[in-house]
Structure 1
Amino acid sequence: MVRCIHVVFIQLRSFVGSSLNQWALDFQGNLERILASIAIAKERGATLRVGPELEIPGYGCLDHFLEGDTVLHSWEVLAKILTSEEAQGIVCDIGMPVVHKNVIYNCRVVIHNRQILLIRPKMWLANDGNYRELRYFTPWAKHRQWEDHYLPRIIQVVTGQTKVTFGDAVISTQDTCIGVELCEELFTPASPHILMGLDGVEIFTNSSGSHHELRKLYTRVELIKEATLKLGGVYLYANQQGCDGDRLYYDGCAMIAVNGRIVAQGSQFSLNDVEVVSATIDIEDVRAHRAKSSRSMQSAAVERYHRVEVPFALTSGKFDIVREEDMSGLLSGSKSLEVRYHKPEEEIALGPACWLWDYLRRSRTQGYFVPLSGGIDSCATAVIVYSMSRLVAEAARRGDKQVIADARRISGESENSSYIPSDPREFTNRIFHTCYMGTENSSSETRLRAKQLSEAIGSYHVDLNMDSIVTAVRHLFTLVTGARPQFRAHGGTAAENLALQNIQARLRMVLAYMFAQLLPWVRGKAGGLLVLGSANVDESLRGYLTKYDCSSGNKTDLKKFIAYAEGSFDLPILASFLNAVPTAELEPITDTYVQADEADMGMTYDELSVFGRLRKVEKCGPYSMFTKLVHEWGSFLSPLQIAEKVKLFFFEHARNRHKMTTLTPSYHAESYSPDDNRFDLRPFLYPSRFPWQFKKIDEIAAVLPDRSISVVPEKPKQD
């Protein structure tokens, strides 16, 4: 039988973008992951490899970028990459800090065959939200200009070069032109790729350190598609993936786009340390896409970029004999890919779980500890840990050697052990410990829910009653002062009632850390456990938490996540958590009173989520929040009711703001996070009654018409 052979002229080559799980200051580990990604790229026949932003030292070094050691060690790692066998015969775009004329820049260093082709400094720096790049780096302000950069001697010895091009320039090969764009530059209105593309750049690389936030991926994908839809071109996007040592989880999802179409996409959440995404691109597709009269007119008038000319090609430039059955794989860049988006509840299940795994294995502790209250917040934290175990088991079943080795070490197995963590419940029992800390104010329902949840996910569970400890503290206070505080239900004042609630919450913290330190010892193991908190972002906004208690996701999204996990994780017990009324169970239960969180706060969780979005994301103060909510809620609440809710929120938020300064580091998942340490930089001492602002709200509310009277009330809507 004669097989049909086609002779085709193919002007194409394979390119790759990498997602690397780099770790701040882990120079050895970062080097190994960089070399592994280059090796994989070469195995796939790639001629251009792009890695994430600042991949040599790790993106999350923060103030360590100001230290000369960080720059020195980055050059040392680059020298090893330049001399490595892996880095020969392929163009590599690598990220590191560079000091040029005594100024620190966030740079891409493009190398090929032991030569540095270009050092491209970042021109637009991320400096809001979680990012403080202007604290460490200076933007390159000389657009379309370049200078000589004199290399350190350790690099001169390797490359034989004394100086290289430094600045806003592009690389011209024998067959195409490559331009560099760094992370934030894609998000700016006047992105560099526009002018580069008009000047003939056909391949754009983007090295990113973009963190996960619920629903954020869609924005990123649309910007990448838009970058080449009108302009034409190939866009290679690489991103950091993993914890990197701080509150953020960088969610990978390396991508390749051609002429506005996504043709390759990596995973968004993965336990892999190295993931390479590749596509084979026909450069002629770009040239055909650009054959438009209006683009040509703009291109002819654009200011030119300096070109670093190199004597090699990225494409083969020759006739290749290709079997018909191989054509589909060869032209992988010719077909659009349906982008994979996770639902928010899936993001909650996967993002924090991956972050927890990185934290656990890198902190070299033996597991996690969570006080289970029987409520939905601690339930969600526990289920996320179980989600982590599911990911570990799935990776182990695939034969992931790194995950298996980490799991053996964490669970106390010897190096020669044959243990495979293939059952998520069994692995959870080894590394996850839960505890119900009941008092006389606790209900049998919450105790039972905590027990049933622990059984469903497999955690090692302890049930205790802490009344004797609480009573001892009350007796001590009475012994010292002669006064005995009472709960409100027993005739006590508001101050007594609050103090007695806080005693229980803070003693739980003390017990949690004691059990976390000693439970592994009780089970005949070494080491300690990390204590996980379970307060949600809405309660933190309102200040409805006790300082130093087990104190972050939004309540609405957490409920969606629990509903999702009930079916996807086969945990029917979760239905009872969804239907339970949120309660702290810190006050006595009587025939006429059961403590409820929303009643205590004076607002619902749905309302809190709206307040949080308006305060942080839409940057509203009290007055502007009121005016917006008059339009959003005016159909079911009067202006006076809205005014009271807004004033109550800002009053409670202001007087409890100091609590944010004590919150332990937590996974960042929401754009309205109140995290005082990184994201929400506001004072913690306020004029909490906002006399000027509240007076203006009252004046306007008094004269606005009430549109809610004849309308059936409905719940506030959450975006």
Structure 2
Amino acid sequence: MGHLATIATCSLNQWALDFEGNAERIIESIRIAKSKGATLRVGPELEITGYGCLDHFLEGDTYLHSWEMLVKILTHEDCQDILLDIGMPVSHKNVHYNCRIIALNKEILLIRPKLFLANDGNYREMRYFTPWGRPRYVEEYYLPRMMSEIMGKRKVPFGDAAISTFDTCVAAETCEELFTPNAPHTGMSLDGIEILTNSSGSHHELRKLDKRIKLMTNATGICGGIYLYANQQGCDGDRLYYDGCAMIGINGKIVAQGSQFSLKDVEVVTATVDLEEVRSYRCQPSRGMQAIENPVYPRIEANISLSEYGADVDPRIGPTKEVKVKYHKPEEEIALGPACWLWDYLRRCGGVSGYFLPLSGGIDSCATATIVHSMCRLVVKDCEEGDKLVIADARRICGEAPDSDWIPKTPQELANRIFHTSYMGTENSSKETRERAKELANVIGAYHVDLNMDTVVKAVRDLFGFVTGKTPTFKVHGGTKTENLALQNIQARLRMVLAYMFAQLLPWVRGSSGGGLLVLGSANVDEALRGYLTKYDCSSADVNPIGGISKTDLKAFIAYARDEFKLPILHDFITAVPTAELEPITHNYVQSDEADMGFTYDELSVFGKLRKNHKLGPWGAFEKLLHEWSDIMSPRQIADKTRNFFWYYAINRHKMTTITPAYHAEAYSPDDNRFDLRPFLYPAFSWPYKKIEATVARLLEKEKEKEA
């Protein structure tokens, strides 16, 4: 029969500093785990506080409230007779640590601090915490009085150790530790630890899940063992969306996988595993030789058996079988991740009644609108399935009474209550973009306003002329480059002002007693990188669901949504030439985004990855592109592209200091506010440019020698 144990991991939609709400979700996950027969429950990283507390981790209140919530959890009647792995910050000897609390029946068995901290990209854990630099070392931790009164003892073990039950051994790994070259699970497995837990606060990024699963399956594929992965899920108050996907693996196989994108607050994943499979898998002489030399982990004893024994064994129950891992295509990730993020943001932002979007008729604002449509589809689906929390949130946001029986029947019905759009046209706008915007709003159910703002633009222009005695004109009418740019910016910035005015007053116009609307932005990651946007124009908004997504991926998403959501109008957006429509249209000139920028969107994506992912400056990028683009461009063209990109990037970097908070989806995002920390006042890249020019001259000389 083997030794069968049912174990549980979970994804929780925690919210930074929502101590009571977070505790309730933890208790609910434990309740569900026990109902499924689990004897071990693992939760996400820092689940009591929420992962994204940031500088609140420097406050004493955060640690006090964490202990208060832990007491509430450990003393709850539904949280007994199950081994618990719970995440929270702990201060020990005046040093702050990111910890796991291993507990059983109102007693803390071990406080296990994180060994290796995430400290790059979106993460700054070493700003708040100190890594535990003493592997396999345990010392005493003096409990706060509220906890010692419950346990009847003053001290518990603190450090890097394992938990020995009557039938197996369990140890915790935390998030970043799985991603390190010398990950703790290797030494743990060689010391006979059979169940490994990983509690994470891992954010969604396009195409990232594959890496996460490979690391986990490789860990147990090489070392053997059972691996439980828990993760936060949802927007906890910032740019990141934590994408859940709790999993259980054994010996290189995945036997249980949770959803990656969900509106649910609590999702518990369980599996029945055979401990004997681990022991058989590890029975190799070469492994045994390494195990003998492996340093020993301290063991903390727990009075519990995770597997059933003797007469308690049900012969009808067997181990959970391997499952095929589900991966979403990038287009699906765009449809689901930002949609879930937008719903969390809306339901947790008090006093608002929906979203407002300036809908231009171009593909970027179209993508934002389509993501809102996807959000409405997810909400309606969960309402149809009877999700009480989603139903309650939908009623509250739509201004329905708590005792109402209203449930949205279609995405369009919901959108008409919470989604407002506006086409803000001028004399430079085309009939085609106006009609596309109107039709898209109609098919997705948005409340749409179609207006012309020429009188407002003219009033500002006339005011300037009255004050200065000079009236600017467009370039096509003989104006200078400076005049031309100023006239475009007037239109763009007035759209921002009008957007906020309509967002505040449209619900009032429609007779709603609720609050205003959150304004959505639509600048994509490539335009932000190039600086192809006006500071404080309609790219300035409350949140931007596509701000971290490339134009290339957005086009693929729109093609996917056209077919998946049955929205044929989206085809017209894909085939339309991207244009800002801020300059007059003449018989021989129509403004084009790519022509204006001097780059294709694909080229911008390449430069973005070289600058951020590959960590290259102008010289390094030029060197790499000489190899990658040599078949499509000359060295002179590559040099010009490189110089132009870094010149535009440098002079526009200041715009990133005020960029709208955007859903983080791309590893080369230029978001200045935490992810991409760089100056916003640059000198000329004179030295690397000299090296580039010298290389081009040398290559041209070689070409001449070959021809001769």
1:691 and 2:686 are equivalent in the alignment: yes
Deviation at 1:701, TM superposition (A): 1.5
Residue aligned with 1:679, SS? coil
Contact preservation (8 Å) 2:552, 2:601: yes
Q: Tell me what 1:455 maps to.
A: 442
1:363 — aligned with what? Answer: 349
Q: How far 1:337 moved relative to its partner?
A: 1.2
Which of 477, 487, 491 is 1:504 aligned to?
491
Q: In 2, distance between residues paired with 1:543 and 1:319?
A: 70
Could you state the TM-score of these two structures normalised by the residue count of structure 1? 0.95
Q: Output the CA distance in 1 between the equivalents of 2:244 and 2:618.
A: 38
For 1:136-215, list aligned pairs within 5 A. Answer: 136-215=128-207
* Superposed displacement of residue 704, structure 1: 2.1
Give the residue type in structure 1 aligned to 2:72.
Answer: K
Q: Secondary structure at the match of 2:648?
A: helix
Would you say 1:532 and 2:520 are equivalent positions? yes
- Which residue of structure 2 aligns with residue 662 of structure 1? 658
Measured in 2, the distance between the counterparts of 1:90 and 1:49 equals 7
8 Å contact kept, 2:2–2:275: no
| Distance 1:577-1:700 versus aligned 2 partners, 3 A rule | same
Please name the residue that 1:256 is paired with. 248
Task: State the SS of the aligned residue for 1:230.
Answer: helix
CA contact (8 A) 1:375 1:580 kept: yes
Give the CA deviation at 1:708.
12
Quick one: which amino acid aligns to residue 84 of structure 1?
Answer: H
Q: 5 Å matches for 1:130-141?
A: 130-141=122-133
Aligned with 2:74 (options 63, 75, 82): 82
SS in 2 for 1:56: coil
Q: How many angstroms apart in 2 are the aligned matches of 1:312 and 1:400?
A: 35
Task: Determine helix, strand or coil for the equivalent of 1:207.
Answer: strand
Q: Compute the displacement of 1:312 (Å).
A: 2.3
CA contact (8 A) 2:526 2:605 kept: yes
Which residue is 1:639 aligned to? Answer: 635
Alignment partners' CA distance in 1, 2:334 and 2:287: 43
- Classify the secondary structure of the residue corresponding to 1:86: helix
Is the 8 Å Cα contact of residues 116 and 131 (structure 2) preserved in structure 1?
Answer: yes
Is 1:350 the counterpart of 2:336 in the alignment? yes
1:239 and 1:251 in contact (8 A); partners too: yes
Q: How far 1:550 sits from its partner (Å)? A: 2.0
One-letter amino acid of the counterpart of residue 406, structure 1: D
Query: Shift in Å at residue 422 of structure 1?
Result: 2.7
- Shift in Å, 1:706: 10
Counterparts of 2:430 and 2:291, CA distance in 1: 73
Q: For residue 702 of structure 1, what is the amino acid of its counterpart? A: A
Shift of 1:159: 1.3
Q: Is the 8 A contact 1:16 1:46 kept in 2?
A: yes
The equivalent residue for 1:715 is: none
Match of 1:543 among 531, 540, 552: 531
- Aligned: 1:283 with 2:275: yes
Query: What is the SS of the residue equivalent to 2:79?
Result: coil
Q: Which residue of 1 aligns with 2:48?
A: 56
Letter in 2 for 1:478: G
1:422 aligns with 2:413: no
| Ranges in structure 1 where 5+ consecutive residues have no aligned partner | 1-8, 710-719
Deviation at 1:707, TM superposition (A): 12
Give the fraction of aligned pairs with identical amino acids, expressed as a percent. 68
Deviation string, structure 1 residues 269-319 (Cα, Å, up to 9, x no partner): 000000000000110000000000000010011110110112321111214
Tell me how far apart the structure 2 counterparts of residues 704 and 276 of structure 1 sit (CA, whole Å).
Answer: 61
Distance 2:500 2:209 in 1: 37
Q: Residue 146 of structure 1 aligns to which amino acid in structure 2?
A: V
**Following TM superposition, by how much is the alpha carbon of 1:636 offset from its aligned partner in structure 2, in angstroms?**
1.2
What does residue 483 of structure 1 align with? 470
Cα shift readout 1:439-463 (whole Å, capped 9, x = no counterpart): 0000000000000100110100000
Q: Decide whether the 8 Å contact of 1:634 with 1:708 is kept in 2.
A: no
Distance 2:700 2:43 in 1: 58
Q: 1:297 to 1:566 in 2, by over 3 A?
A: same
Deviation at 1:321, TM superposition (A): 6.0
Q: Is the 8 A contact 1:264 1:337 kept in 2?
A: yes
SS in 1 for 2:578: coil
Deviation at 1:695, TM superposition (A): 1.0
Please tell me whether the aligned partners of residues 89 and 96 of structure 2 are also in contact (alpha carbons under 8 angstroms).
yes
**Residues of 1 paired with 2:560 and 2:304: CA distance?**
52
Q: Does the CA contact (< 8 Å) of 1:634 and 1:706 recur in 2?
A: no
User: SS where residue 617 of structure 1 aligns?
Assistant: coil
Secondary structure of the 2:78 match is coil
2:393 corresponds to which of 393, 406, 412? 406
* Counterpart code for 1:546: T
- Determine the structure 2 residue equivalent to 1:567: 563
Q: Does 1:38 align with 2:30?
A: yes
CA RMSD across the alignment: 1.2
- Residues 13-55 of structure 1, C-alpha deviation per residue, up to 9 Å, x if partnerless? 1101110000000011001100000000000000000000000
How far off is 1:200 after superposition?
Answer: 0.7
Report the 3-state secondary structure (helix = DSSP H, G, I; strand = E; otherwise coil) of the residue aligned with 2:199: strand
SS in 2 for 1:672: coil
Residue 593 in structure 1 maps to residue 585 in structure 2:
no
Deviations for 1:371-420, whole angstroms, at most 9, x for unmatched residues?
00000000000000000000000000100000000000001111111111
Give the aligned length. 694
Q: What residue is the counterpart of 1:714 in the other structure?
A: none
Give the alignment of 1:588-627 within 5 angstroms.
588-627=584-623
* Matches for 1:209-248 after TM superposition, within 5 Å: 209-248=201-240
Q: Tell me if the contact between 1:255 and 1:266 (Cα under 8 Å) persists in the aligned partners.
A: yes
User: Once the 2 structures are TM-superposed, how far is the Cα of residue 538 of structure 1 from its aligned partner?
Assistant: 0.2
- Deviation, 1:192, is 0.5
Partner residue in 2 for 1:305: 297
Which whole-Å CA distance do the structure 2 matches of 1:346 and 1:697 have between them? 41
Question: What is the TM-score of this pair, normalised by structure 2?
Answer: 0.97
CA–CA separation in structure 1 for the residues paired with 2:5 and 2:137? 30
Q: CA deviation at 1:320?
A: 5.0
Check conservation: 2:2, 2:276, Cα contact below 8 A. Answer: no
Matches of 2:403 and 2:252, distance apart in 1:
50
1:160 is displaced (CA, Å) by 1.2
Check the 8 A contact 1:638/1:707 in 2, yes or no.
no
Task: Work out the CA distance in 1 between the residues paired with 2:528 and 2:66.
Answer: 39
Distance (whole Å) between structure 2 residues aligned to residue 305 and residue 392 of structure 1: 47
